[in-house]
Amino acid sequence: MVAAWRAMPDEREAQGGLRKYDEVSPITASREEIEQAVQDADLPALLAALAMITADETLIADDLRPPTPPMGASIKGQGGMSDEAQAKARSLAVRAIVAYRDRGSPSPEVPDAAWLNRIMRFMTKDAGDDYLPLLSSELGLPRDMGAPDWRKEDLAPGRDFSVAVIGAGLSGVAAAHRLSQSGVSFTVFERSEDVGGVWWANRYPGCRLDTPNFAYSLSFAQRQDWPQQFSRQSEIQSYIAEVTRLAHLRPHIRFGVEVTGLTWDEAAAVWRLSIREADGSRSERRFNAVISAVGQLSQPSIPEIEGLDGFKGRWFHSAQWPADIDVKGKRVAVIGAGASAYQIVPSIVDEVDALRVFQRNPPWMLPTPTYHDDIKPGMAWLLRHIPYYGRWFRFWQFWIAAEGRLPSVQVEKDWKHPVSVGRANERLRQECMAHLEAQLTDRPDLLEKLTPNYPPGAKRMLRDNGVWTAALKRPHAQLITEPLARIEGDAIVTADGERHEVDVIVFATGFLASDYLHPMKVIGREGRDLHEWWAGDCRAYLGVVIPGFPNLFMSCGPNTGVVVNGSAIFSAECAVKYATSAIGEMLAKGYSAIDCRMEPFEAFNRRVDAENLTKSWGVATVSSWYRNAAGRASQTWPFSLLEYWRVTQSADMGDFVLTKAG
């Protein structure tokens, strides 16, 4: 194997075992084999990777620059490059790869920042100087840009200071890694048996990503050998487990241990954590700071239905799919038509005797023909052999989603339409409708039921390769839009009085996404109960810190969800960056407690609320986990990715009430 990462002189920047993700194999393929592989390539990323390792300016000439048209319902292949540009790009790429092979596939050095910036500008149509730091951070070159620039042993060598991280999903692993890099003592508490968070818990049939996989990976652990662009649950969970192993985080994680409560001890300036051990016993631990990484989608939401307790069959939530359940030959009801139902239904339709899908609101679906496809063989070969190709491919996916469909969900005050909220939103609606209508020319009854009456973007938009409508067309499947009334014995009774006899009920009804930190009891300064103070309307400054709750940081907190222009991994890493910056300031300046002031908290929330009302999810009345019980968009980040990255890069101590240690 050829290690593609050049060793850095400063060991604080070393990635240790995580360098594995940059390893590639020497090239021994013939020119013909290389030409065949390049036919499957994602060309903009390949040109960038080859330009980086060869310093060949012809690879990033202006006539090869991807135009990257605005994103509609689908994304233009190859960034919208013309056929002529694609042919030239392939010819140049083959020439560069053959030359690299003939030089013995040497391990390249990371070029200087000026050349990296030039390549990034080529891919991004000359992104401004304000964007380049963010883009460099996502690329992760010439070093891990998100790593803390401090070490505890340098800032406060004699001070006892420890951090609790709650949750070992992707955001918890990110927090643990950054704390490990900074030399701060930490413990991760995970109530499950292994790492992964939602990717450990959700094991229902068909569970997989609906965000491109390369973009849905940690910036400091950029895996290159994903088998698919939208990977299955098992692949993602295995990736998270591998990262914890390679980064030596596993010894810091306590599995099967649940944090049930947090209480701020003002006199000692520590958080007292109430712990329930795996054997049911209880204990208490004390930490100077806490990073909550419990996420939004961890507490299943099960509707109250009269008679459910008396159901004669089996029922469960999709996130609690029993290992021993066999639906073969059964009459199965799936309640819900959101992301999990959308994956479950096509996966079990050929096994069950009868399938009843109970839908409240149909989803908007984005045409994605390759949703279930494996990475093409040539593309997979290039990822195994071209240094940094995986990084540039991840970078490319990040960039085309950076603004993404954000313009398509913009409210235009002069636009009058019964469904859409603006001209771009209407174009998106029409594209999605054309895709749906093409699948249902033979089933006008299903088309009527599957046509949303709310604007695109108001709810989670789903990836569609045709399997959803194909499943619902099956003769033993039925889509039911009548509201549920009650359950009687072995039947679900709808509002029209019809009985639907079933053996199994699957609740694909989502999560209590608005109930952040639930069910933990969190008591802050002066005995303030966080959930009582929130009163169902969860808010935080930058989605990370809350007045009256010192030294408590949240990842994936209120109003941090980038729902049409990025992934949860991005916002999670931003929150972790902010938290570790704040902890560094505490150590450097001798603070025992930092408590967010009310003024910046209120100003931030006013600004976010106002901007959310300019987006389809902020004005639509359709039920959605984007909004809380009060109807406020409490999950979504309405601004650009650049804006969230910028405000979370360092904690401004002017935003806090500061308490000196001892």
Give per-residue pLDDT as tens, 241-289.
999 999 999 999 999 999 999 999 999 999 999 999 989 999 999 999 9
Same domain for 346 and 378, yes or no, is no
| Cα 240 to Cα 229: distance, rounded to the nearest angstrom | 17
Residue type, 544: V
Residue labelled with tokens 């008396």: 310
| Cα 373 to Cα 442: distance, rounded to the nearest angstrom | 26
Q: Is residue 20, in this structure, part of any structural domain at all? A: yes
Portion of the chain with pLDDT greater than 70, in percent: 97
- What's the distance, CA 624 to chain centroid? 18
Comparing 54 with 629, the larger pLDDT belongs to: 54
Q: What is the mean pLDDT of residues 13-42?
A: 90
Of 507, 526, 545, which marks where a domain is finished? 507
The pLDDT assigned to 513 comes to 65
Of 488, 507, 526, which marks where a domain is finished? 507
Q: What is the mean pLDDT of residues 617-627?
A: 91
The pLDDT assigned to 297 comes to 67
Same domain for 338 and 202, yes or no, is no
Contacts of 325 (CB under 8 A, 6+ apart): 314, 316, 504
Q: What is the mean pLDDT of residues 7-19?
A: 53
Residue type, 427: R
Same domain for 194 and 254, yes or no, is yes
| Cα 179 to Cα 165: distance, rounded to the nearest angstrom | 10
Instruction: Identify whether the C-beta of residue 155 lies closer than 8 Å to the C-beta of residue 587.
Output: yes
The pLDDT assigned to 2 comes to 39
Instruction: Identify whether the C-beta of residue 500 lies closer than 8 Å to the C-beta of residue 357.
Output: no
Of 483, 507, 531, which marks where a domain is finished? 507
Task: State the DSSP code for 376.
Answer: P
Q: What is the mean pLDDT of residues 4-13?
A: 37
Same domain for 487 and 544, yes or no, is no
- pTM for the whole structure: 0.95
Q: Is residue 574, in this structure, part of any structural domain at all? A: yes
| DSSP E strand stretches across 117-194 | 162-166, 185-190
Same domain for 291 and 189, yes or no, is yes
The pLDDT assigned to 4 comes to 44
Q: Is residue 295, in this structure, part of any structural domain at all? A: yes
SS3 506: strand
Q: Is residue 103, in this structure, part of any structural domain at all? A: yes
Among candidate residues 170, 120, 125, 171, the one with its CA nearest the CA of residue 142? 120
The pLDDT assigned to 516 comes to 87
Which of 361-365, 410-414, 525-529, 564-568 comes out lowest in average pLDDT? Answer: 564-568
Same domain for 336 and 352, yes or no, is yes
Q: Is residue 419, in this structure, part of any structural domain at all? A: no
Average pLDDT for the chain: 93
The pLDDT assigned to 472 comes to 98
Q: Is residue 492, in this structure, part of any structural domain at all? A: yes
Contacts of 389 (CB under 8 A, 6+ apart): 24, 45, 46, 49, 224, 382, 383
Same domain for 501 and 648, yes or no, is no
Residue type, 481: T
Same domain for 541 and 483, yes or no, is no
pLDDT tens digit string along 463-521? Answer: 999 999 999 999 999 999 999 999 999 999 999 999 999 999 999 998 776 778 988 99
Q: Is residue 538, in this structure, part of any structural domain at all? A: yes
What kind and span of H or E run contains 93? helix 83-102
Same domain for 26 and 54, yes or no, is yes
Portion of the chain with pLDDT greater than 90, in percent: 85
The pLDDT assigned to 257 comes to 97
Q: How many residues does the chain have?
A: 662
Q: What is the mean pLDDT of residues 554-562?
A: 94
CATH number at residue 493: 3.50.50.60
Can the peptide bond before residue 547 be classed as cis, meaning omega within 30 degrees of 0?
Answer: no
Using alpha carbons, list the distances in angstroms from residue 162 to 285, 289, 371, 574.
11, 7, 43, 21
| Cα 554 to Cα 545: distance, rounded to the nearest angstrom | 6
Is residue 423's pLDDT more than 90? Answer: yes
| Cα 164 to Cα 156: distance, rounded to the nearest angstrom | 19
Beta strands 484-488 and 491-494 are: antiparallel
pLDDT bin (cut points 50, 70, 90) of residue 11 is very low
The pLDDT assigned to 1 comes to 37
Same domain for 551 and 442, yes or no, is no
Q: Is residue 214, in this structure, part of any structural domain at all? A: no
pLDDT bin (cut points 50, 70, 90) of residue 404 is confident
- What's the distance, CA 132 to chain centroid? 22
SS3 451: coil
What kind and span of H or E run contains 552? strand 552-554
Q: Considering its fold, how many domains does the chain have in total?
A: 3
For 296, counting Cβ atoms within 10 Å of its Cβ (0-12 exposed, 13-18 middle, 19+ buried), the class is buried
Among candidate residues 34, 150, 70, the one with its CA nearest the CA of residue 565? 70
Same domain for 160 and 26, yes or no, is no
Instruction: Identify whether the C-beta of residue 555 lies closer than 8 Å to the C-beta of residue 575.
Output: yes
Same domain for 80 and 173, yes or no, is no
Burial 159-171 (b: 16+ CB within 10 A, else e): eebebbbbbbbbb
Domain that holds residue 358: 308-364+424-507
Residue labelled with tokens 């009310």: 598
Q: How many helices (H) and strands (E) does the chain have?
A: 20, 23
Q: What is the mean pLDDT of residues 177-202?
A: 96
Residue type, 525: R
The pLDDT assigned to 52 comes to 95
| Cα 9 to Cα 246: distance, rounded to the nearest angstrom | 21
pLDDT bin (cut points 50, 70, 90) of residue 226 is very high
